[in-house]
Amino acid sequence: MHLKDTTTGDIMKTLAKLLHEVGGASGLALNLVALTTEDEREEVEKAASVAAQEHPYRLIMAIPRDLETDVARIDAEVTVGERLGSAEAIILRLDGPAAAHLSSIVLPMLASDVPVVTWWLLDPVRYGLEQELRSFADRRITYSARANDPVQSLYRRAETYVSGDTDICWTRISLWRSLIASAFDGVTHAVEKITIKAAENDPSAQLMAAWLHTRLGVSPEIVDTTVVRNSEHLPAIASVAFTMAGGETMEVERKADGTTVLRQAGLPKRRQTLQGRTLGQLLAEELRHIDPDTAYRKVLETFQEHYAGERAIV
Amino acid sequence: MGETLHTSNPLRDPADRRLPRIPEPCALVIFGVTGDLAKKKLIPAVYDLANRGLLPASFVIVGFARRDWGDETFEEMAREAAKSHARTPWREEVWARLAGSFKFVPGTFDDDEAFNRLDATVDELRETHGIVGNAAFYFSIPPLAFPTVLKQLKRTGMSDNRQDGGGWRRVVVEKPFGEDRESAAELNHLVDEVFTANDVFRIDHYLGKETVQNIFALRFANAMFEPIWNSNYVDHVQITMAEDVGIGSRAGFYDDNGAARDVLQNHVLQLLAIAAMEQPNGFEAEEIRTEKLKVLRAIKLHDDLEATAIRGQYADGWVQGRPVKGYLAEDNIPQTSTTETYAAVQLGIQNRRWNGVPFYLRTGKRLPKRVTEIAVVFKEAPHMPFADYDTKTLGNNQLVIRVQPDEGITVKFGSKVPGTGMELRDISMGFGYGETFTESSPEAYERLILDVLLGDKTLFPDAQEVDASWAVVDPLEEFWAGTKPEPYESGTWGPTGADLMLQSSGRRWRRA
């Protein structure tokens, strides 16, 4: 249902009415507040409807529209079920000062008691809304690969980290990390050298290096490589190779078609498939964990200390 | 860093919960791989595990059955099975990674030569597929064949790998675990002797269900339920496991066993144990088992079994708009069969928490619908400051754990009907666990196979639990021996004797 030039009170009345009509079940697990633009709206909606199958949530999508005008205005679309899957959704288009006072609009719309997750695909600095969103978020999900300078954006995440932050660039290396971790199950020797072939400007590659560094105490070398990816949400990592103290080697290599080969001294080659997941699947993985990801925090610290180089927040 | 040796995997951090638990390289050997269970559950579950990225890079499925097949035929059959029964979407590339990991060994269970070949095949996989000697043997076979296969595994040395280059060996057995206390003890003794007790995994697939595991969370992670979870507040507990189907193609097995042995002894008593047990000290397999065993051993049958142990057998009738045959008219069932397809029984639990609280258990086939629920029915409020006629339709408060389908929890309590009078009525508040989460919640077999490969025994009943459960069922069977079960019309909630069992104490079965 579309509401023109409306108020939060009317929006919530409309939502209550729609929920009443569908005999609304009230098993909400969380609130998801997504900051997006009209261009990205469809992508966000699609991802949100996938993730909603796993996590019943109230989706509040805020789209800053005309920022030039002085007249604050809220247009809203309220849906239950329909194109956003099982989620109850409120899509807000905000003009003028309304956008800058986002928290005053969102706070009364949040379902009580359950956690609030904020998520944005945008470069978070673009709208100056970082503080606004931080004020009520239990978790903040960003996607630094989407920024103009992805690694700089990740660095900014590290500098301004608060408990509960994560980045989709971390989410999307879970499968890679899992594969590497299982290859290490039988390994008893210490690691002496690690080489990562990856696109240097991919935050996921930086996080991979920082993770291995954190866990193994060895600083990996990133060899800048062009990586052919068949999905945007794949990390731009081609291979990770280890040399052990005993001289043995182990390598995980992903080919362009997704075939991933594990070569380990003394064992036959083993194959896996690593494909990029959809944004919705990545979001669903993120929402599975509502408590702060302390493993990520440590990795981000290592990144900040060893890999960020000479950077500053600009 | 020098020559430091790791004792545990340095990449695994308990705080890093994104890294799924992935088993070590291993082989899954399935006996009876051409059967329904393997086709509909086991192989699809393996595909689903692969699809979720939960299988080790080195993983092989070895099939053993009486078929003149090669590896390719087996792989093709497995592909068909996975494609038609997997829960997760079909992705060719996931299958491609399993391709080449299928081995088939033809043979019968008494064929020494075939088991020698199986032994050699599993040994070869150590080199060719890097499984480092780890293997789980899944018995998807009739219980009669268990001893033969166990003896073969012992003879060839497949069940014990310590001499033979290392790696774990585990065995997975399906119910029934014997047909009474004595035969179960024999079977347990045999399997524990061939493997070690710690390597034996008894599958009760109900324990793999998310909702059953959620009972632990409901009871032990919350403050509001446990204080009233006892005889001070609970009037009685009803556990229902109803099926709308008949016996299908299981005539031979079913007629020898009946509902009590088939379902009550395992699934229903396990549900009871989890619902009624004391809080475990921790969540280790051993700690949970200790508490389950305690409560199973505290079960006492009622003295008057005539009134509290009811058997029924379905007659013809209509189920969900279709006419169905009675049990005695099913194929391969003797006209004189006295096997029950329905059993209802009242139990007590002899401990402080449950003193005087009856537990009513019922299970049956050809009932109106397929439903499994645990209902905790609370006592009436001690005093009600309302007129009798205001609370006429008010029942007891009730908490229902819906195990399947529509997994979730329903709480029933009284509320005022809107209006000027003070009329009270029951309302129910539901938490739908299933509706929104099913998409990604793993199938029971998926979870259990993964746990076998990981060596996690939390969700598997052990030999002592099996023994304690038979100790409950054996006296019932003894009492029923030589009697005829009461017929009930298919599509109804069972024989009238079961209703009388509750009516005598002023209670009644809830409509599940």
Q: What is the pLDDT of residue A26?
A: 58
Identify whether the C-beta of residue A91 lies closer than 8 Å to the C-beta of residue A63.
yes
Put simply, the answer to whether B12 touches A258 (Cβ < 8 Å) is no
Query: Would strands B359-364 and B342-349 be described as parallel, antiparallel, or unpaired?
Result: antiparallel
| DSSP characters over A104-116 | HHHGGGSPSSS-E
Q: How far is A74 from chain B (nearest CA, A)?
A: 31
DSSP states of A252-309 as a string?
EEE-TTSEEEEEETTS--EEEE--PPPHHHHHHHHHT--S--HHHHHHHHHIIIIIS-
CB atoms within 10 A of CB B51: 22
Q: Which of residues 82-101 of A touch B (CB under 8 A)?
A: 86
- Which is nearest to A284 in space by CA: A121, A117, A152, A145? A117
Lookup: tokens for B159: 């069940």
Give the Å distances, CA to CA, from B226 to B288, B290, B374, B428, B434. 17, 19, 16, 20, 23
pLDDT digits (tens, 9 = 90+) for B416-466: 888 877 778 888 888 776 555 545 567 889 999 999 999 999 899 989 999
Contact A190 B435 (CB under 8 A): no
pLDDT at B438: 46
The alpha-carbon gap from B286 to the nearest alpha carbon of chain A, in Å, equals: 25
**A16 in contact with B at a CB cutoff of 8 Å?**
no
Task: Give the Cβ contact number of residue B426 at 10 Å.
Answer: 14
Per-residue pLDDT of chain B (512 residues; tens, 9 = 90+): 344 455 678 888 888 888 888 888 899 999 999 988 999 999 999 999 988 888 887 899 999 999 999 999 999 999 999 999 998 888 887 888 788 889 999 999 999 999 999 999 998 888 888 788 899 999 999 888 888 999 999 999 888 876 666 789 999 998 888 889 999 999 899 898 899 888 999 998 888 888 888 899 999 999 999 999 999 999 999 999 999 999 988 888 899 999 999 999 999 999 999 999 999 999 888 899 999 999 999 999 999 999 999 999 999 999 888 899 999 999 999 999 999 999 999 999 999 999 999 999 999 999 999 999 999 999 988 877 877 777 776 789 999 998 888 788 899 988 888 887 777 888 888 877 655 554 556 788 999 999 999 999 989 998 999 999 999 999 999 999 999 999 999 999 999 999 999 999 989 998 87
* Residue of B85, B267, B302, B383 with catalytic role: B267
For B481, the token pair is 């021996």
**Do B465 and B273 contact (CB within 8 A), yes or no?**
yes
Q: How many CB atoms lie within 10 A of CB B282?
A: 9
**Contacting residues for B360 by C-beta, under 8 A, at least 6 apart:** B236, B237, B238, B239, B344, B345, B346, B501, B502, B507, B509
Among A residues 120-139, those touching chain B with beta carbons less than 8 Å apart: none
Global confidence as pTM:
0.83
pLDDT at A23 (0 to 100): 67
| Average pLDDT, consecutive stretches of 10 residues, N- to C-terminus, chain A (314 residues) | 91 90 70 91 90 85 91 92 79 91 90 88 73 84 90 90 93 91 82 95 95 95 91 92 92 88 81 82 88 93 83 60
Place of tokens 């920024």: A147
B302 labelled catalytic: no
pLDDT at A27 (0 to 100): 67
d(CA B423, CA B418): 8
> Using the beta-carbon criterion (under 8 Å), do B93 and A183 form an inter-chain contact?
no
Count the residues in chain A: 314
Closest residue in chain B to residue A177, using alpha carbons only:
B19
Asked if the Cβ–Cβ distance from B56 to A182 is below 8 Å, we say yes
Give the closest of B1, B9, B94 to A185, CB-based: B9
Q: What is the rounded CA–CA span in Å between residue B216 and residue B225?
A: 11
Q: Is B89 on the interface with A (CB under 8 A)?
A: no
Cα gap A193→A121, rounded to integer Å: 35
Q: Which two tokens stand for residue B453?
A: 């490969």
Binding-face residues of A in 158-177 toward B, CB within 8 A: 171, 174-175, 177
pLDDT at B128: 84
Q: Are A289 and B18 within 8 A, CB to CB?
A: yes
Per-residue tokens: B15: 């705080």
Phi, psi of B342 (to 5 degrees): -145, 135
Transcribe B365-402 into DSSP letters. Answer: SS-SS-EEEEEEEEPPPS---S-GGGSTT----EEEEE
- The 10s digit of each residue's pLDDT in A71-93 is 999 999 999 877 777 678 999 99
pLDDT tens sequence across B26-62: 999 999 999 889 999 999 999 999 888 888 878 999 9
CA-CA distance, B235 to B396, in Å (whole number)? 9
Region of residue A217 (phi > 0: left; psi between -120 and 50: alpha; otherwise: beta):
left
Residue B432 Cα, gap to closest chain A Cα (Å): 7
Q: CA-to-CA distance for B246 and B256, rounded, in angstroms?
A: 15
Question: What is the distance between the alpha carbons of residues B346 and B325, in angstroms, rounded to a whole number?
Answer: 29
Q: Is the backbone of residue A198 left (phi > 0), alpha (psi -120 to 50) or beta?
A: beta
pLDDT value of residue A220? 95
Find the CB nearest A175 among B24, B53, B94: B53
ipTM above 0.90, yes or no: no
Alpha-carbon torsion, ordered B323, B328, B331, B333, to 10 deg: 160
What was the pLDDT predicted at B3?
43
B130 touches chain A (CB under 8 A): yes
* B15 inside 8 A of chain A by CB: yes
